[in-house]
Amino acid sequence: MEFIKSDRPVFFFDIDNCLYPKSTWLPVLLTTTSIDIGSIGHNIHDMMAGLINDYFARHLQLCAEDAKMLHQRYYKDYGLAITGLALHHKVAPLEFNKEVDDALPLDDIITPNPQLRRLLADIDRTKVKLWLFTNAYITHAQRVIRLLGIEDMFEGITYCDYGKIPITCKPYTEMYRKAEIEAGASSADDCFFVDDSYLNCYHAQERGWTTAHLVEQTESEPEVKAAQYQIKELEELRRTFPWLFKGSSTQSDVPKSVNGLGVGGANGVNGVNGVHGVNGVNGVHAIDEVDGANGEYGVKGAYGVNGEFGVDGVRVDGLDSLDGVKRWNGMNGVESSFRLQGLCGKV
């Protein structure tokens, strides 16, 4: 299959525990399924984990404790439990999918989400392409987005093909590369991403994707952030990436960037709370480590955080402007072909 390069950046959305909350729970006890709900939990996350543990116990003849331990080990080692089962126990992934993902009583749990649909509808499609990116098989992915009532909101999907061994999945580099190719992303710099998985977000950020780690209110925050951005709910994407939404600055309105320096006195316009971006990568302010080596600027977004510097063209520490081009410690901005957050074209 031939994939066409996109003329827009791509925003990748994870599905499970992301498009619906991890805490989504079963409102009533079911009588239409053979699943022992009481033994595996009442929310989707716990139910899926319980079904996987049960699969390990039944097919590998393990006690419950050993099944859970091996499940967790394979998940940590391979990113997916089924990968370990396929490699070490010759389990057919598609059969596993039927007994686990496809066996979840999602029709009784997931319902259309008008708020989520409004959020997705408010994203400006002239600025960014919406694309699904999941470690699930296609049948489960399609089922979830249909139940949420958002199947028409995305232009495509990259999923784990359980029909191919070895299975390629997040957080491995090959999976991110596969997503870029299938979605037509021109480069890693043109990729946005939201996921609930720490490892998936960490590796996406390392690759150069602009990443938001979804950590629900009920979850403990990681001691070290997985990515530049961390949000508690998807609605926070509106203020995390405001320029991607309708009614915000258009591509032609956003100030151009020279190595992350704002031109025309508007540093940090495309950064959250004034955080600067270097060609849209990681939101750090250091330019080839100039003024950043000692951690003064750009380290962990320290420079420009909370809009302290560069907002509304305020001059700080000798910051000056020359014919609308910012001057930084004697470094004159020069018109070039750099992109800010992957949205601005060549100038």
Q: Considering the entire predicted model, what is its pTM?
A: 0.70
Partnered with residue 129 across adjacent β-strands are 10
Amino acid 144: pLDDT = 98
pLDDT digits (tens, 9 = 90+) for 88-112: 999 999 999 999 999 999 998 999 9
Q: Which of 142-146, 226-230, 277-281 has the lowest mean pLDDT?
A: 277-281
Fill in the DSSP letter of residue 259: T
The answer to whether the CB of 132 falls within 8 A of the CB of 158 is yes
Amino acid 250: pLDDT = 52
The answer to whether the CB of 9 falls within 8 A of the CB of 2 is no
- Above 90 in pLDDT, residue 11? yes
The answer to whether the CB of 282 falls within 8 A of the CB of 302 is no
CB atoms within 10 A of CB 325: 18
Distance CA 172, CA 220 (A): 25
CB atoms within 10 A of CB 305: 17
The answer to whether the CB of 97 falls within 8 A of the CB of 139 is yes
Judged by DSSP in three states, 118 sits in helix
Letter string b/e over residues 273-285, b meaning 16 or more CB atoms within 10 A of that residue's CB: ebbbbbbbbbbbb
Q: Which of 63-72, 103-112, 320-329 has the highest mean pLDDT?
A: 63-72
Q: Return the closest-CA partner of residue 126 out of 279, 235, 8.
A: 8
Whole-angstrom CA distances from 72 to 226, 283, 323, 330 are 20, 33, 59, 54
The answer to whether the CB of 170 falls within 8 A of the CB of 198 is no
* Residue, of 295 and 139, whose pLDDT is higher: 139
Burial of 343 per CB tally in 10 Å (0-12, 13-18, 19+): buried
pLDDT digits (tens, 9 = 90+) for 174-195: 999 999 999 999 999 999 999 9
- Beta-sheet pairing, 325-328 with 191-195: unpaired
Distance CA 52, CA 116 (A): 28
Amino acid 27: pLDDT = 56
Partnered with residue 158 across adjacent β-strands are 133
Q: Return the closest-CA partner of residue 48 out of 88, 97, 116, 112.
A: 97
